[in-house]
Amino acid sequence: MKQQMNVVALVKDSERYVFLYDDESSSQMLQTLGQYAADKDLSFTWYDAAVMSQKVRKLRREAELEEQSRRLRKTA
């Protein structure tokens, strides 16, 4: 299986939050978003974490569907 790198990004005024992670690290990525939201020194909010989490979950679902499709094509 080919390793895929995912990117999610958020731009807030002059700040940029860019996260890179592979498919196997999506759960850890979700935890990191929570840690950033809990950090009072960052402008990253719980709302930001929720929006980014939705994107991470969507990418994970898409990767799973793609893998299932790939497996089905191999067996056909």
For 26-61, the pLDDT digits (tens) are: 999 999 999 999 999 999 999 999 999 999 999 999
Query: Taking a C-beta distance cutoff of 8 angstroms, is the pair 22, 29 a contact?
Result: no
- Residue 19's DSSP bridge partners are 8
Amino acid, res. 59? L
pLDDT at residue number 33: 98
Helix axes 26-38, 46-75, angle to 10 degrees: 180
Query: Mean pLDDT of all residues in the chain?
Result: 92
DSSP output for 6-70: EEEEEEETTEEEEEEEEGGGHHHHHHHHHHHHH-TTS---HHHHHHHHHHHHHHHHHHHHHHHHH
Domain ranges of the chain: 3-73
